[in-house]
């Protein structure tokens, strides 16, 4: 039986195009169009909106985004086996689905959306093995504000918790939480159980919404990354120890002087310092090494 969009059920698509899931490509497909509809609706009203989707696979989420009214979906897929299945969807939605055969890790996002009129949002059930790397790249976008106005992304629950973490959730709070907190506001929207995927992964997943801050606290992202890497790489140690050896602008930082200048007690640990604290450290580290 066909679905509301006149296209065959996803199970049939996978069978027809012989899309046996590949672990190396993080392939855990969603077949339930109610669930993909819920993810698509989490992107907000889609009238006039272009969605960049990473890893459309057999097209479950792609179809939901189009059915929910996205003006256009630009879908980047690395697995060439999926391209014929996606072409069928493109045919059902003339002019609204652009399929890009390529690797999301090396995609030039600004060039991809250079001709797009109107707002762009990112929506994806991300391949779990590259999800964090893609998110870090989008959060480190330069110039800022970035090319997208919202992201709705599926991660493993454990990664989702690290994205939204603050010092209040000590175990989860780390480099990812600082970067996400600096440039965006984020929240977990809902969980998705392993049984929703084909094949089912071992862990629960979560859909996360990230909205870029219009004016993040001013600081050099590269230096912020260096400071958080140094601080969290030895997260059990006090900052006076973990920041020893930190190098910024080619010069080694005096950790005690840096902490004193930022007004941060030297015996604190990385997980006790909030985003504003790390931004202050990054700015002062920059000033002290010029």
Chain residues in the site for ligand SAM (CB under 6 A): 25-30, 54-57, 60-61, 76-79, 82, 103-105, 125, 127, 130
Q: Give 33 or 279: the residue with its C-beta nearer to ligand SAM.
A: 33
CB of 76 within 8 A of CB of 70? no
Q: What SS3 state is found at 12?
A: helix
Q: How far is the CB of 127 from ligand SAM (least distance, A)?
A: 4
Q: Give 99 or 104: the residue with its C-beta nearer to ligand SAM.
A: 104
| Side-chain half-sphere CA neighbours of 125 within 13 A | 30
Q: Give 58 or 177: the residue with its C-beta nearer to ligand SAM.
A: 58
Task: Supply 265's token pair.
Answer: 């007690």
Q: How far is the CB of 42 from ligand SAM (least distance, A)?
A: 14
> Using CA atoms, how far apart are residues 215 and 183, in angstroms rounded to an integer?
8
> Using CA atoms, how far apart are residues 186 and 152, in angstroms rounded to an integer?
10
Q: Give 60 or 146: the residue with its C-beta nearer to ligand SAM.
A: 60
> Using CA atoms, how far apart are residues 19 and 39, in angstroms rounded to an integer?
23
Q: How far is the CB of 31 from ligand SAM (least distance, A)?
A: 7
Q: How far is the CB of 51 from ligand SAM (least distance, A)?
A: 12
Q: How far is the CB of 71 from ligand SAM (least distance, A)?
A: 19
Q: Give 25 or 238: the residue with its C-beta nearer to ligand SAM.
A: 25
Q: Give 29 or 278: the residue with its C-beta nearer to ligand SAM.
A: 29
In the chain, alpha helices (H) = 10-16, 33-41, 60-67, 83-92, 109-112, 131-139, 157-164, 175-183, 221-233, 239-242, 255-262, 275-288
Q: How far is the CB of 8 from ligand SAM (least distance, A)?
A: 15
CB of 176 within 8 A of CB of 193? no
Q: What SS3 state is found at 269?
A: strand
> Using CA atoms, how far apart are residues 282 and 87, in angstroms rounded to an integer?
47
Burial of 236 (0-12, 13-18, 19+ CB in 10 A): exposed
Q: Give 87 or 105: the residue with its C-beta nearer to ligand SAM.
A: 105
Q: How far is the CB of 75 from ligand SAM (least distance, A)?
A: 8
Q: What SS3 state is found at 252?
A: strand
Q: Give 54 or 163: the residue with its C-beta nearer to ligand SAM.
A: 54
> Using CA atoms, how far apart are residues 272 and 167, in angstroms rounded to an integer?
5
Q: Which residue is nearest to ligand SAM (CB)?
A: 55
Q: How far is the CB of 154 from ligand SAM (least distance, A)?
A: 7
């Amino acid at each position: 039986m066909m679905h509301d969009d006149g296209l065959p059920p996803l199970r049939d698509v996978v069978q027809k195009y012989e899309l046996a899931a590949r672990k190396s490509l993080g392939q855990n497909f969603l077949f339930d169009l109610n669930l993909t509809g819920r993810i698509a609706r989490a992107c907000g009203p889609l009238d006039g909106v272009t969605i960049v989707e990473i890893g459309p696979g057999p097209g479950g989420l792609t179809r939901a985004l189009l059915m929910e009214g996205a003006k256009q979906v630009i879908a980047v897929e690395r697995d060439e086996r999926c391209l014929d299945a996606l072409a069928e969807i493109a045919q059902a939605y003339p002019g609204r689905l652009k399929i890009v055969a390529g690797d999301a890790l090396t995609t030039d996002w600004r060039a991809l959306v250079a001709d797009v009129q109107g707002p762009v949002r990112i929506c994806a059930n991300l391949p779990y093995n590259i999800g964090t790397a893609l998110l870090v790249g989008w959060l480190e976008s330069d110039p800022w504000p970035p090319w997208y106005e919202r992201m709705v992304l599926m991660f493993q629950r454990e990664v989702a918790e690290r994205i939204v973490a603050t010092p209040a959730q000590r175990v989860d709070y780390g480099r990812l939480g600082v970067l996400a907190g600096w440039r965006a506001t984020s929240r977990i929207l809902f969980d998705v159980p392993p049984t929703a995927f084909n094949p089912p992964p071992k862990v629960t997943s979560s859909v996360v919404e990230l909205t870029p801050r219009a004016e993040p606290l001013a600081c050099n992202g590269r230096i912020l990354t260096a400071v958080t890497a140094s601080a969290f790489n030895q997260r059990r140690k006090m900052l006076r120890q973990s920041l020893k050896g930190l190098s910024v602008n080619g010069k080694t930082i005096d950790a005690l002087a840096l902490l004193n200048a930022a007004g941060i007690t030297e015996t604190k640990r990385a997980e006790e310092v909030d985003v504003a604290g790390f931004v202050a450290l990054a700015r002062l580290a920059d000033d002290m090494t010029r």
